[in-house]
């Protein structure tokens, strides 16, 4: 039996053939006989496109219809939406992006779906390709063996035929060929029977050509014909299309030569690939349905799994947010022994120790408050007795001899000092215990300033200092605890008078949009850098040897600093040896407000500049940014009538 | 006649010292060291004023204050070591007229006692009206619709101060000076608490006062 050969087919030579590059569903003819065999055309390419053409067409029709519907919907959406639901679309896009950013679950499910769809497309294409190829190869093998057999039958019949007259020859040929089509209703194969061109025509050649219903020699690819014509007795094949009824069907044409009564004929047997195509379609349908179902299931599985993993994590996030907000009793639910349970357990452990620590701290703070309160009461009662007794003695000192008289005076003064020290200590420990509460309400700062200046007037008279108030405003309403502000300012003013050397003390008040500033400037002995840095320290004294004349406890400025901190303000000190000092209190106009810039300068504009490099001192308290007032080199403060 | 003053304090040294100071200033002190016996001694001694320590053994000073106030309008001045707002306010709310924080000076104590003992300075016969409340100043009598309303001397003074000048808005500082006799600014909570107490007695609806009106951000004035 001669080998079957595939005809090489130039791509361009096939009219109406689908694009060859569409390899996805094409079958290949590589199972054809080995290339390079002598005398054979090497089967470089396969022509299996015909197999896929109808499938592609019907697919395309479906997709086109779907695409049209989708396009219609989208265009309708766009037309109505551009005007009406553009914000809605933006919101949708925004919310999707937001979910993408914020939801691990959403992101994972979406990623899984995208990856699953991609892998199914690749695997599906490969499977579909393989199946189509196998189907084609199977049919081709069948076609080849059947063709060899049938051609042999025909040749045998022709060889043994008695050539008598024209009609019997025609009948013989036609019967023989019809027998090739097979018995029964179903046509197993079709044929095209054609005399080879360009050969000497014998006298009794009565049959030129013959073909099955609807077929002509034109359905045979020219390349196949050429191969058959030029070869010896080999069998060749090629893919083709042939008309059945109103449609074109894919098929395989197998070409041979037979000779009859001295004439060489080409005999092509054509095998229908329609059933294979239908099988392929069904398989592909199954692949599609299965693929879609699987993708959906994978999506659902991904959602379920992520949910299982992520929900404890988001639960942990919720719980830790609550913890951070102060709900210390919040705990995670722990189930099982997996990683999530371990996370939950260690989270709960952390929360418990946090709660314990905080409760402990709170208890300590409460205990300290209790202690302060108790000490306060326990000490004050005997102190009251001592103080009253001292005063009674002091009042009666005129009746005493000089030694007892002086003792009574000392007792009286020291009891006073002890009492002020005690109350300052209790005040400081109240701050330390966190028991100090701001009792703020809107009030005019000038009321407090006026009250302080008025209260300090006896002391000012004693030192011979004049207290001047510099301001351009008449009223500045500040949200403050006036009792504390009164205490701060009284402290600053008494300090200034004490260290003011009897020179005038300037009190300046100014405000800007968010803050009010009060500065107290004295022109006394001043202080050095090191001193200015320590001025708010507890029990610190500028000059330990200096006699205490106003009976301060050494805690006054520390308490002032604490009071300022409670208000969210700044308390700063500036000083220079010999040029006096300046204390500036800056308060936000509203509680909780931020201070960007103090309305007054810390370094007064009135200082004399000696030849030596000036010693600048300042101490920053509170939340003021670094290098606060040195950033104001000139008099940019609103109060141009500041210290002068 | 010497004014009798009941000193309720568990600290004997302080009580004795207070006694010395009070005697020195011409008062007659009576002592009680136990809160549980305070009411009994109060009934038997009939004092003109009570000096009461807030923290007492046996019975809380605040409870003693409430008991005394329950049966008498006698002025009560608290001695307090706690300057915490809540304690002072609780003491005032339980009926005390004034308080002196420890440690106090003898002069301070005597000044507070004298301010509360200020005799009716022989008030001229005078009848005042605020809303539907009638005040007979000389008779120390307050009536509404013929029905007598019982006020402590301090509450009475507060109401009279407001009623005498119905056109004026009184700041808390001014009331402290006129009613309590403080020369320097003191604790304005005294005023707030006593206005509440006064309202609870004379107003038909203390939530919607008609007799003592609040002027927001300034103080109080009499209703018309």
Residue spans per domain, chain B: 4-117, 127-222
**CA-to-CA distance for A551 and A421, rounded, in angstroms?**
9
**CA-to-CA distance for A609 and A630, rounded, in angstroms?**
16
Q: Phi, psi at residue A540, to the nearest 5°?
A: -85, 140
Determine the distance in angstroms separating the CA of A595 from the nearest CA of chain B, rounded to an integer.
26
Any CB–CB contact under 8 A between B84 and chain A? Answer: yes
pLDDT at residue A42 in the model: 36
Do A623 and A568 lie in a common domain? yes
Angstrom distances, CA of residue A270 to CA of A155, A329, B130:
17, 85, 124
Higher pLDDT, residue A316 or A566: A566
Do A273 and A378 lie in a common domain? no
Any CB–CB contact under 8 A between B81 and chain A? Answer: yes
Determine the distance in angstroms separating the CA of B34 from the nearest CA of chain A, rounded to an integer.
16
**CA-to-CA distance for B70 and B63, rounded, in angstroms?**
10
Answer for the pair B8, B35: CB distance below 8 angstroms, yes or no.
Answer: yes
pLDDT band at A36 (very low <50, low <70, confident <90, very high): very low
End-to-end CA distance of chain A, in Å? Answer: 127
- With respect to residue A157, please indicate whether it lies within any of the assigned structural domains: yes
pTM surpassing 0.80? no
Beta-carbon separation of B102 and A382 below 8 A: no
pLDDT at residue A164 in the model: 74
Do A488 and A602 lie in a common domain? yes
Beta-carbon separation of A387 and B84 below 8 A: no
Nearest to B17 among A380, A385, A419 (CB): A385
pLDDT in tens, A358-397: 889 888 888 877 777 777 777 888 888 999 999 999 999 9
- With respect to residue A322, please indicate whether it lies within any of the assigned structural domains: no
Higher pLDDT, residue A80 or B176: B176
- With respect to residue A588, please indicate whether it lies within any of the assigned structural domains: yes
Boundary-marking domain end, from A374, A394, A429: A429
Which range, A47-51, A83-87, A398-402, has the best average confidence (pLDDT)? A398-402
- Average pLDDT, rounded, for chain A: 78
Average pLDDT over residues B101-111: 87
Residue with tokens 């002072």: B88
Beta-carbon separation of A385 and B84 below 8 A: no
Nearest to B21 among A381, A392, A419 (CB): A392
For residue A381, the domain's CATH number is 1.10.287
Collect all residues of chain B within an 8 Å Cβ-Cβ radius of residue A377: 55, 81-82
Do A144 and A11 lie in a common domain? yes
Range of the domain at A389: 340-429
Do A92 and A155 lie in a common domain? yes
Say how many domains are in chain A.
Answer: 3
Give A 84-123 residues with CB within 8 A of chain B.
Answer: none
pLDDT band at A7 (very low <50, low <70, confident <90, very high): low
- Tell me how far apart the 2 most distant CA atoms of chain A are, in Å: 181
Answer for the pair B9, B51: CB distance below 8 angstroms, yes or no.
Answer: yes
**CA-to-CA distance for A40 and A45, rounded, in angstroms?**
14
What HEC string does A561-578 produce? HHHHHHHCCEEEEEEECC
Do A415 and A450 lie in a common domain? no
Indicate which of A370, A371, A378, A385 best probes the interface with B, i.e. most B CBs within 10 Å of its own CB. Answer: A385
pLDDT in tens, A108-126: 889 999 999 999 899 989 9
pLDDT band at B50 (very low <50, low <70, confident <90, very high): very high
What value does the CA radius of gyration of chain B take, rounded to a whole number of Å?
17
Boundary-marking domain end, from A411, A429, A447: A429
pLDDT in tens, A530-573: 888 888 888 877 665 555 554 567 788 899 999 999 999 999 99
pLDDT in tens, A491-508: 999 989 888 888 899 999
What HEC string does A34-81 produce? CCCCCCCCCCCCCCCHHHHHHHHHHHHHHHHHHHHHHHHHHHHHHHHH
> What's the CA angle centered on A597, arms A594 and A601, to 5 degrees?
140
pLDDT at residue B76 in the model: 92
Nearest to A388 among B55, B82, B106 (CB): B106
pLDDT band at A21 (very low <50, low <70, confident <90, very high): very low
Beta-carbon separation of A377 and B55 below 8 A: yes
Beta-carbon separation of A392 and B185 below 8 A: no
Do A418 and A503 lie in a common domain? no
Collect all residues of chain A within an 8 Å Cβ-Cβ radius of residue B112: none
pLDDT at residue A562 in the model: 92
Tell me the CATH number of domain B127-222, given options 3.40.50.10440, 3.60.15.10, 1.10.10.10, 3.40.190.10.
Answer: 1.10.10.10
pLDDT at residue A585 in the model: 93
Nearest to A384 among B20, B83, B102 (CB): B102
- With respect to residue A285, please indicate whether it lies within any of the assigned structural domains: no
Residue A310, Ramachandran bin (φ over 0: left; ψ between -120 and 50: alpha; else beta): alpha
Beta-carbon separation of B17 and A419 below 8 A: no
Look at residue A175 and give its three-state secondary structure: helix
Fold of B4-117: Rossmann fold (3.40.50)
Do A472 and A607 lie in a common domain? yes
Any CB–CB contact under 8 A between B103 and chain A? Answer: yes
Do A457 and A396 lie in a common domain? no
Beta-carbon separation of B102 and A391 below 8 A: no
Boundary-marking domain end, from A254, A279, A304: A279
**CA-to-CA distance for B91 and B76, rounded, in angstroms?**
10
pLDDT at residue A213 in the model: 78
- With respect to residue A21, please indicate whether it lies within any of the assigned structural domains: yes
- With respect to residue A641, please indicate whether it lies within any of the assigned structural domains: no
Beta-carbon separation of B106 and A385 below 8 A: no
Any CB–CB contact under 8 A between A438 and chain B? Answer: no
Give B 135-194 residues with CB within 8 A of chain A.
Answer: 185
Do A416 and A548 lie in a common domain? no
Any CB–CB contact under 8 A between A484 and chain B? Answer: no
Collect all residues of chain B within an 8 Å Cβ-Cβ radius of residue A380: 81, 102-103
For residue A529, the domain's CATH number is 3.30.565.10
- With respect to residue A302, please indicate whether it lies within any of the assigned structural domains: no
Do A138 and A77 lie in a common domain? yes
pLDDT at residue A31 in the model: 35
What HEC string does B136-195 produce? ECCCCEEEECCEEECCCHHHHHHHHHHHHCCCCCEEHHHHHHHHHCCCCCCCCHHHHHHH
């Amino acid at each position: 039996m001669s080998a079957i050969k595939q005809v090489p087919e130039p791509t361009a030579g096939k009219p109406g053939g689908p694009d060859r590059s569409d390899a996805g569903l094409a079958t290949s003819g590589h199972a054809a006989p080995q290339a390079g065999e002598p005398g054979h055309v090497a089967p470089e390419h396969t022509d299996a496109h015909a197999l896929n053409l109808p499938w592609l067409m019907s697919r395309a029709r479906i997709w086109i219809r779907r695409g049209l519907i989708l396009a219609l919907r989208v265009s309708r959406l766009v037309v109505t939406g551009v005007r009406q639901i553009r914000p809605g679309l933006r919101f949708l896009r925004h919310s999707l992006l937001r979910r993408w950013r914020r939801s691990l679950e959403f992101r994972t499910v979406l990623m899984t779906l995208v990856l699953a769809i991609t892998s199914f497309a690749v695997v599906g294409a490969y499977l579909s390709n393989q199946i189509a190829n196998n189907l084609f190869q199977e049919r081709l093998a069948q076609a080849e063996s059947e063709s060899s057999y049938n051609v042999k039958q025909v040749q045998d019949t022709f060889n043994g035929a008695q050539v008598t007259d024209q009609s019997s020859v025609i009948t013989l040929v036609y019967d023989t060929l019809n027998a090739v089509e097979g018995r029964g209703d179903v046509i197993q194969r079709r044929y095209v029977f054609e005399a080879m061109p360009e050969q000497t025509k014998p006298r009794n050649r009565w049959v030129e050509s013959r073909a099955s219903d609807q077929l002509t020699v034109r359905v045979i690819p020219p390349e196949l014909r050429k191969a058959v014509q030029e070869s010896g007795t080999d069998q060749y094949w090629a893919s083709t299309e042939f008309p059945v009824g109103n449609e074109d069907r894919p098929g395989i044409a197998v070409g041979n030569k037979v000779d009859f009564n001295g004439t060489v004929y080409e005999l092509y047997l054509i095998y229908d690939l329609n059933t294979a195509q239908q099988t392929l379609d069904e398989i592909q349908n199954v692949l599609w349905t299965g693929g879609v179902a699987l993708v959906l299931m994978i999506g659902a599985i991904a959602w379920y799994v992520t949910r299982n993993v992520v929900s404890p994590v988001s639960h942990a996030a919720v719980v830790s947010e609550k913890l951070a907000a102060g709900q210390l009793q919040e705990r995670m639910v722990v189930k099982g022994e997996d990683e999530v349970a371990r996370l939950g357990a260690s989270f709960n452990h952390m929360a418990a120790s946090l709660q314990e620590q905080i409760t402990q701290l709170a208890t300590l703070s409460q205990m300290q408050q209790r202690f302060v309160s108790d000490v306060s009461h326990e000490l004050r009662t005997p102190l009251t007795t001592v103080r009253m007794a001292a005063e009674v003695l002091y009042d009666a000192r005129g009746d005493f001899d000089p030694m007892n008289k002086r003792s009574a005076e000392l007792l009286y003064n020291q009891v006073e000092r002890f009492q002020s020290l005690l109350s300052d200590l209790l005040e400081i420990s109240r701050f330390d215990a966190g028991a100090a509460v701001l009792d703020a309400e809107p009030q005019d700062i000038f009321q407090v300033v006026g009250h302080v200046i008025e209260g300090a007037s006896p002391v000012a008279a004693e030192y011979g200092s004049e207290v001047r108030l510099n301001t351009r405003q008449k009223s500045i309403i500040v949200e403050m605890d006036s009792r504390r502000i009164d205490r701060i300012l009284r402290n600053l003013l008494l300090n200034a008078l004490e260290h003011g050397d009897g020179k005038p003390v300037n009190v300046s008040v100014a405000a800007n949009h968010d803050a009010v500033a009060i500065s107290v400037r004295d022109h006394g002995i001043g202080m050095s850098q090191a001193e200015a840095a320590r001025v708010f320290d507890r029990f610190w004294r500028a000059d330990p040897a200096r006699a205490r004349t106003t009976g301060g406890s050494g805690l006054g400025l520390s308490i002032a600093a604490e009071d300022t901190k409670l208000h969210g303000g700044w308390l700063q000190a500036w000083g220079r040896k010999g040029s006096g000092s300046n204390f500036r209190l800056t308060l936000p106009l509203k509680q909780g407000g931020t201070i960007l810039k103090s309305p007054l300068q810390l370094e007064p504009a009135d200082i004399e500049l000696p030849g030596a490099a000036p010693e600048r001192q300042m101490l920053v308290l509170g939340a003021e940014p670094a290098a606060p007032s040195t950033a104001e080199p000139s008099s940019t403060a609103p109060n141009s009538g500041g210290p002068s | 006649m010497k004014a009798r003053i009941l000193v309720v304090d568990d600290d004997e040294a302080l009580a004795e010292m207070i006694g010395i100071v009070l005697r020195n200033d011409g008062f007659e002190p009576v002592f009680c060291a136990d809160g549980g016996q305070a009411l009994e001694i109060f009934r038997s001694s009939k004092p003109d004023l009570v000096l009461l320590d807030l923290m007492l053994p046996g019975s809380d000073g605040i409870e003693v204050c409430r008991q005394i106030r329950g049966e008498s309008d006698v002025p009560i001045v608290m001695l307090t070591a706690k300057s915490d707002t809540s304690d002072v306010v609780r003491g005032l709310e339980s009926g005390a007229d004034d308080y002196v924080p420890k440690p106090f000076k003898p002069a301070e104590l005597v000044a507070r006692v004298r301010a509360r003992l200020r005799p009716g300075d022989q008030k001229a016969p005078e009848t005042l009206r605020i809303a539907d409340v009638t005040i007979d100043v000389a008779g120390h009598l307050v009536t509404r619709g013929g029905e007598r309303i019982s006020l402590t001397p301090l509450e009475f003074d507060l109401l009279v101060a407001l009623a005498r000048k119905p056109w004026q808005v009184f700041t808390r500082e001014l009331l402290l000076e006129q009613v309590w006799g403080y020369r320097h600014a003191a604790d304005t909570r005294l005023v707030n608490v006593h206005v509440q107490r006064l309202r609870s007695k004379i107003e038909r609806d203390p939530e919607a006062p008609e007799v003592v009106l609040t002027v927001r951000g300034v103080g109080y004035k009499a209703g018309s």
